[in-house]
Chain A
Amino acid sequence: MSSTIIKLGDPTMQESDFHPSDEVSVKMIPTPTLNELSQRLADFETLTDALEYAAKGVTGYNFYDAKGGLRSVLPYRTLKVNAQSKARRLLSLGFSHGSRVALIADTSPEFIELFFACRYAGLVPFAMPIPVNLGSHSIYVRQLQGMLESSGASAAIANLDYLSFLKEASDGLSNDHLKWVGTSAQLDLLPKSDKALKSNTPSETAYLQFTSGSTRMPRGVVITEEALMCNLRGIVRNGLDVNPGDRCASWLPFYHDMGLVGLVLSPMAAQLTVDYLATRDFAIRPLQWLKLISRNRCTIAFSQPFGLKLCALRVRDSDLEELDLSCWRAAGIGAEMIRPEILRNFADKFASAGFSDRAFLPCYGLAESTLAVSFTKINRGIESLKVDTKTLVEKRMAVRVQAEGRKFNEFVNCGRPLPEHTVKIVDENGQELPQMMVGSVLVKGGSIMTGYFNNQEETDKALKSGGWLDTGDIGFLFDGDLYITGRKTDVIIVNGRNIRAQDIEELAEQQSEVRSREASAFGISDSNGATTVVLVVECRLTSMEERQLLINRLQQLVYMAFGVNCLVELVPPHTLPRTSSGKLSRFAARQGFLQRANMIDQLPTASLSGDR
């Protein structure tokens, strides 16, 4: 560690040993790593029980700004007091138990206070995203409306920066559930109810997690207290093997399951301190995250592969000299298909800064299973299998490459399911497949969602008989470990964003020139693994000018809603292939596109997907 790092204060020391180097930070001291409380690893019945215990110690949450300065500190003991106070104010609004409360989730102490305030008040919070895309104003407002309507939220709260969007959204709602819209500060002006705060029961809903950017059909995952605590236990005990010296750092958005469950709720349930950087600040200056890890001696930090790629792109040699990442023991990698090259490249770049590739901790999960499904073993790094491409495509079977020169696909080991969870692989007919055979990944266990809120149709699609959740991912098992080989073609992953093909098609179909079921969206990848979204639309327009205008409009809409560029192809009516039941087949649409575009070399990888 260089001397400048020590001067900035080493939060691993006890608070009393901390000597700030300048006037400004005298008042604000980050919460320490070491607690005065004996550690309990998420063995609580409910979230508020967990907070009651954490509040007896000295650890908590710290928020850093874009330049690495400490912006605010929220020790668990303060969080408890503030959340209870806000809970009483929420109660004064007179909502019935289990009413939903929408929170725009920027990386702020207010969001966390409100989240816990809802639980203390017996209300069900859910996080809504912040707008990040150029020109996304009207689409963002529609997305908020979709979530407010689908959840039937009684209250919606945002920080001042986002309040105008929320007000706009609440003005155009089709139902009248929403009774109160305001900021956290405005909530504090309400009277406090004198009703006693009741403790929660394990079977009640803890929160909703929205998983889709659809404006018409958003899906809110319902997670109970019981499911949440089961997953938190799995994460901190089996996944991370947490100990009292651990400290976390995170830039993950609070409105994503990995950001919220993984790096807000899990650390609290194990009484660990967390250092936050806003997602936007990370995206612009990713090295700030690594500096935070280095300076505060953080041991646990998760990222999507895309985040690691950004770090490796931006790092300069001078940065490397300042960094000491030897403290980072668990670099959790999740949330998308893991490409080992990105991880190896990161490890190579940061080896001189003390980063050990054994810290990589690939894991697999999804919001429908609270967060985590499986973890690899700690301190083992990435393990992967090289599988013969031809056998994989033709027989849907994973066979290790034997001879040199054979074409192969490399898949990362995502580890074993958490205790109380089982994973199985099934074929199209739901028949369980033996190991090494590729099929749909199904999960069963204590962390599985109750369903999608108020959406029986989508719930029935995801939850199969016997309590099995269809994850929508394709993979195989080998020696009890899970390997993910792809997704069904209904999700396109671009730069770490998961985009539902259906949501893109829905945007297209909202245009007056496009009829329902005449648009098909899918992803294609180039040889570097970069994915492009393709939207094929059947079009009756004949004027070249009108056609170009439609293409421009569709590209702009997709960008505004999802922040990605998109290739739009207009084709004559009846070009898109349909199944016998008249449904569009994205798989076949993609094959047709690749043939027209003369990209035949991509065809074999297409059949790795499960959608036919």
Chain B
Amino acid sequence: MNEVTQEGILKLLCQRLTGLTKADFEITSETNLITQLAIDSIKLLNLIMEIEDNFDISVPVNALTDVITVRDLADLIYRIKSESK
């Protein structure tokens, strides 16, 4: 499980978000999920499902309240993943 790095998570998220939102610009760690990607509730649920399946973690609802950018989300996944080891 140690091979999962913060950078690796970030890269995967940017990739998945590009597919999910069909953004016509490059998604980076600083991209704002709400104003720039306009993630609606169905897309958000899809993304969480993919994250949970991919990293074999459970993302608690209360944790999303401090997520605004792609980096916030990557940090959260990394934290949950590290704690679940």
Identify the A interface with B (CB < 8 A): 66, 130-137, 140, 161-162, 165, 280, 283-285, 310, 313, 495, 552, 555-556, 559-560, 563-565
* Minimum Cβ distance to chain A for residue B36 (Å): 8
Tell me which of B1-9, B10-18, B59-67 binds A.
Answer: B59-67
Q: Which residue of B lies closest to A106 (CB)?
A: B61
Report if A132-B35 is in contact (Cβ < 8 Å); known contacts: A495-B42, A563-B41, A564-B41.
Answer: no
CB A35 to nearest CB in B, in angstroms, measures 34
A284→B52 CA distance, assembly (Å):
10
- Whether A133 contacts B49 by the Cβ 8 Å rule is no
Shortest Cβ gap from B69 to chain A (Å): 9
Let me know if B64 and A132 touch, CB within 8 A.
Answer: yes
- Contact present for A134 and B61 (CB under 8 Å): no
How far apart sit A555 and B32, CA to CA, in the bound complex (Å)? 11
Hey, which chain A residues are within 8 Å of B42, CB to CB?
310, 313, 495
Contact B32 A161 (CB under 8 A): no
Asked whether any CB of chain A lies closer than 8 Å to the CB of B74, the reply is no
Interface flag for B45 (CB, 8 Å) = yes
Contacts A162-B62, A284-B49; is A556 near B41 (CB within 8 Å)? no
CA distance A66 to B49 in the complex (A): 11
Interchain CB contact under 8 A, A133 and B62: no
Asked if B48 is at the interface (CB within 8 A of a chain A CB), the reply is yes
Q: Are B58 and A66 interface neighbours, CB within 8 A?
A: yes
- Chain B residues with Cβ below 8 Å from A134 are 33-34, 39, 44, 64-65, 67-68
CA distance A61 to B84 in the complex (A): 29
Q: Roughly how many angstroms separate A132 CA and B45 CA in the complex, as a whole number?
A: 11
Cα of A26 to Cα of B60 in the assembled complex, Å: 28
- Whole-angstrom CA separation of A556 from B67 in the bound complex: 12
Q: How large is the interface on B (under 10, 10 to 19, 20 to 34, 35 or more residues)?
A: 20 to 34
Extra contacts besides A133-B64, A134-B34 (19): CB < 8 Å: A66-B58, A130-B61, A131-B61, A131-B65, A133-B65, A134-B33, A134-B67, A134-B68, A135-B64, A135-B65, A283-B41, A283-B45, A284-B48, A284-B52, A310-B45, A495-B40, A552-B32, A556-B34, A560-B34
Is A135 a contact of B45 with CB atoms below 8 Å?
no
In the A-B complex, the 7 residue pairs with the smallest Cβ-Cβ separation, listed nearest first, are A137-B65, A135-B68, A552-B35, A559-B34, A131-B65, A280-B61, A565-B38
The smallest C-beta distance from A334 to any residue of chain B, in angstroms, reads 20
Question: Which residue, B32, B35, B40, B66, has most C-beta atoms of chain A within 10 A?
Answer: B35
Residue contact B44 to A165, C-beta cutoff 8 Å: no
Report whether B65 and A140 are in contact in the complex, using a CB–CB cutoff of 8 Å. Answer: yes
10 A-B pairs with CB atoms under 8 Å apart are A132-B61, A134-B33, A134-B39, A135-B64, A135-B68, A283-B45, A284-B48, A310-B45, A555-B34, A556-B32
User: Could you say which of A137, A310, A556 contacts B35, with CB atoms under 8 Å apart?
Assistant: A556
Contact A165 B49 (CB under 8 A): no
Residue of A nearest to B68 (CB): A135
How distant is the Cα of A460 from the Cα of B66 in the complex, in angstroms? 39
The answer on a CB contact under 8 Å between A285 and B40 is no
Bound complex: CA of A555 vs CA of B49, how far in Å?
Answer: 25
Rounded to whole angstroms, the CA-CA distance of A113 and B1 in the bound complex is: 40
Q: How far is the CA of A134 from the CA of B35 in the complex (A)?
A: 11
Q: For the complex, give the distance between the alpha carbons of A283 and B48 in Å.
A: 10
- A283 — which chain B residues lie within 8 A by C-beta? 41, 45
Question: Cβ of A135 and Cβ of B67 under 8 Å apart?
Answer: yes
CB nearest neighbor in B for A131: B65
Taken together as a complex, chains A and B put the C-alpha atoms of A283 and B43 apart, in Å, by 11
> Contacts of A284 on B, CB cut-off 8 Å?
45, 48-49, 52
When distances are taken between beta carbons in the complex, the residues of chain B under 8 Å from A495 are 40-42
In the complex, what's the smallest C-beta–C-beta distance from A132 to chain B, in angstroms? 6
Are A565 and B40 in touch, CB under 8 angstroms?
A: yes
Bound state CA distance, A310 and B44, in angstroms?
13
Q: Check A136 against B34 for contact (C-beta < 8 Å).
A: no
- What is the bound-complex CA distance between A425 and B54, given in angstroms? 53
A135 adjacent to B49 (CB under 8 Å): no
The interface residues of chain A lying within 8 Å CB-to-CB of B45 are: 283-284, 310
Chain A residue numbers with a CB within 8 Å of B68 are 134-135, 556
For the complex formed, measure the closest distance between the CB of B67 and the CB atoms of chain A, giving whole angstroms. 5
Partner of A165, one of B32, B62, B67: B62
Across the interface, do B34 and A135 meet the contact criterion of CB distance under 8 Å?
Answer: yes
**With A and B bound together, what is the CA distance between A544 and B42 in angstroms?**
32
Q: Which of B34, B40, B49, B62 contacts A131 (CB 8 A)?
A: B62
Which chain A positions have C-beta within 8 A of B58?
66
List chain A residues, Cβ under 8 A from B38: 555, 565
> B35 contacts which chain A residues (CB < 8 A)?
552, 555-556, 559
Taking CB as reference atom, which chain A residue is nearest B35? A552
CA distance in complex: A391, B65 (Å): 47
A552 surroundings in chain B (CB, below 8 A)? 32, 35
Q: Are A161 and B62 in contact (CB under 8 A)?
A: yes
Tell me whether A161 and B60 are in contact (CB under 8 A).
yes
Q: Which residues of B contact A130 (CB under 8 A)?
A: 61-62
How many whole Å from A315's CB to the nearest CB in chain B? 14
Task: Identify which of B40, B48, B66 contacts A135 (C-beta below 8 A).
Answer: B66
A128 CB, min distance to chain B CBs, angstroms: 13
- Chain A proximity mask over B47-81: 1 for CB below 8 Å, otherwise 0: 01100100000101110111110000000000000
CB contacts (< 8 Å) of B48 on chain A: these are: 284
By CB atoms of chain B within 10 A, which of A132, A162, A310 has the most? A132
